[in-house]
């Protein structure tokens, strides 16, 4: 049994394709910002029942900038509102 070196979750195999060589799980590899998700919306204070109700947003709109100071946890409604107000949807 192997565990991700970042999030600690047990890694699942993928039918002998060299998965054991990687030190991190697929989620941490594909979405490195996901490990910074909090349990509430940092804008309105909404407490989520399930983590799927929350998103991690990049404050500056640059999805490559995963600096902790650039990430904020938002509920779906606040995320849509922020995207609309900052006109992030146009870029």
**Which residues in 39-51 are b (16+ Cβ under 10 Å) and which e?**
eebebeebebeee
Q: What is the pLDDT of residue 78?
A: 95
Distance CA 56, CA 68 (A): 11
Residues 52 and 8 in one domain: no
Q: What is the pLDDT of residue 1?
A: 65
Residues 61 and 78 in one domain: yes
Residues 85 and 55 in one domain: yes
Residues 46 and 84 in one domain: yes
Residue 77 in tokens: 């409604």
Distance CA 45, CA 58 (A): 18
C-beta of residue 64 within 8 angstroms of C-beta of residue 58: no
Residues 10 and 45 in one domain: no
Tens-of-pLDDT digits for all 91 residues of the chain?
Answer: 677 776 777 766 555 455 555 677 777 777 777 778 899 999 999 999 988 899 999 888 887 888 889 999 999 999 999 988 988 767 6
Q: Which domain holds residue 72?
A: 33-90
């Amino acid at each position: 049994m192997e565990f991700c070196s970042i999030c600690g979750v047990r890694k699942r195999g993928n039918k002998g394709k060299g998965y054991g060589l990687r030190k991190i799980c697929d989620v941490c590899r594909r979405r490195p910002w996901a490990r910074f998700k909090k349990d509430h919306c940092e804008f309105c204070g909404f407490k989520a029942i399930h983590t799927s109700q929350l998103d991690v947003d990049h404050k500056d709109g640059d999805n490559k900038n995963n600096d902790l100071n650039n990430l904020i946890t938002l509920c779906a409604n606040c995320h849509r509102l922020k995207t609309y107000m900052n006109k992030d949807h146009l870029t």
